[in-house]
Amino acid sequence: MIPITDERPSDADAIEALLDTCFGPGRTAKTVYRLRAGVDPAPGLSLVARDGTDALVGTIRCWPVRLGEDARPSLLLGPVAVDPSLQGRGLGGALIRETLARAADLGHAGVILVGDAPYYARFGFARPPVERLALPGPVDLSRFLGHEIVPGALSGATGLVRPGRRAGAGVPRTADALRPDPCAAIAGAL
């Protein structure tokens, strides 16, 4: 069994390389990346898997988001990726289950993601919990899914999903101050 451990700062380059391999270099144009830009991953929920040679073969991260009109705190799960040579052996499922278990232990109640419903259904993700939510950009809605760790956690959530607390929030940063909020225009259009 391949051990799953906390991500280390020194894993960053290997993770980017694995994500490029699994998703292609155009991945950062996806709408979910708008929810990750400038935001630190949720503490304790960035995990990796290493093979017997200590090579990084799996990654998963989660991000804080705020859901809808009441800015309900939640998690955005992903990306999750497994080295192509090891796919189909249960590692992706193990990474997701470990992350959800840790999220529950840390007191998180709701999780959203954009991914393949036939895969994520086995972990409890489905469309209904997020049907009244919108993402800040184009997305195939059949792939926008939610999971309630605590029953009812996503109940009634309506409106736009926004990024969670930005890295360094509270510290004035000129570039951020000048950059328009990409969610603002979409929120106005809802």
Give the residues lining the site for ligand COA (CB under 6 A).
22-23, 80-82, 87-93, 115-116, 118-119
Residue nearest to ligand COA (CB): 92
CB closer to ligand COA, 50 vs 173: 50
Nearest-approach distance from CB 107 to ligand COA, in angstroms? 26
**How far apart are the C-alpha atoms of 12 and 14, rounded to whole Å?**
6
CA–CA gap between residue 19 and residue 85 (Å, rounded): 14
Beta carbon of residue 108, minimum distance to ligand COA (angstroms, whole number): 20
Helices marked H in the chain — which ranges? Answer: 12-23, 31-34, 91-105, 117-120, 174-178, 182-189
Minimum CB separation of residue 135 from ligand COA in Å reads 15
- CA-closest candidate to residue 93, choices 113, 116, 73, 120: 120
Nearer to ligand COA, 72 or 123 (CB): 123
Closest CB 70 distance from ligand COA, rounded Å:
28
Spatial distance between the Cα atoms of 18 and 92, rounded to a whole number of angstroms: 13
